[in-house]
């Protein structure tokens, strides 16, 4: 399974935001929604072998499961609606127990450290960072978990956690990419790894 963890530093932790202002009043939730869409969407299909987690302000984690997802559409607003629906049910997320808020969408009160720990048990954690080694020079593991940040850099605490959790740090190219574009590049890399013809 392929996994992505996106850290949303300014993300909302309550369902009080307007779907008409996800790029401002919702703390750049638009960036996170584009990441979810890049993780799952193909042309006229959804990747079922993908798990994507959004860590919201180190307070909540929303987990999206490709095999179970319903009502995910390729626009930021509908994805933001799934996030808002999840946060409307945040009182049901008790301790570290998840609650399913819609098909394939789960909410938990897990911060960054706990989410990283869970991911490390499920696969090989890989940090996406411009100072890493070129991804073309790395052999993709069977169950990669790629960690990336939203429009902000990793904090010093997150960097320290990644140093203790990630097995490697890779870069996708010579230029910094938007988070959602980075996910698309990773997906293409994984899709074509091992193939000599296209």
Residues at the annotated binding site? Answer: 128
Identify whether the C-beta of residue 55 lies closer than 8 Å to the C-beta of residue 7. Answer: yes
Q: CA-to-CA distance for 28 and 190, rounded, in angstroms?
A: 28
Q: CA-to-CA distance for 82 and 88, rounded, in angstroms?
A: 10
Determine the Cα angle at 70 with ends 1 and 106, to 5°.
65
Neighbours of 174 (CB within 10 A): 7
Q: What residues form the annotated binding site for S-adenosyl-L-methionine?
A: 128
Q: Which residues contact 163 (CB under 8 A, 6 or more apart)?
A: none
Q: Where are the beta strands (DSSP E) in 103-174?
A: 105-108, 124-134, 144-149, 168-171
């Amino acid at each position: 399974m392929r996994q992505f963890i996106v850290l949303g530093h300014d993300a909302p932790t309550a369902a009080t935001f307007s779907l008409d202002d996800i790029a401002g009043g919702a703390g750049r939730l638009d960036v996170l929604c584009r990441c979810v869409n890049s993780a799952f969407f193909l042309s006229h299909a959804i990747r079922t072998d993908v798990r994507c987690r959004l860590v919201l302000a180190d307070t909540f984690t929303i987990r999206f499961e490709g095999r179970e997802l319903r009502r995910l559409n390729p626009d930021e607003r509908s994805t933001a609606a799934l996030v808002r629906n999840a946060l409307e049910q945040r009182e049901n997320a008790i301790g570290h127990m998840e609650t399913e808020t819609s098909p394939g969408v789960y909410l938990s009160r897990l911060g960054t450290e706990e989410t990283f720990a869970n991911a490390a048990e499920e696969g090989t954690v890989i940090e996406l960072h411009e100072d890493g080694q070129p991804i073309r020079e790395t052999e993709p593991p069977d169950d990669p978990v790629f960690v990336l940040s939203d429009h902000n850099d990793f904090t010093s605490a997150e960097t320290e956690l990644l140093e203790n959790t990630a097995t490697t740090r890779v870069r996708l190219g010579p230029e910094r990419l938007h988070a959602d574009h980075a996910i698309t590049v990773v997906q293409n890399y994984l899709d074509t790894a091992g193939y000599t013809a296209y």
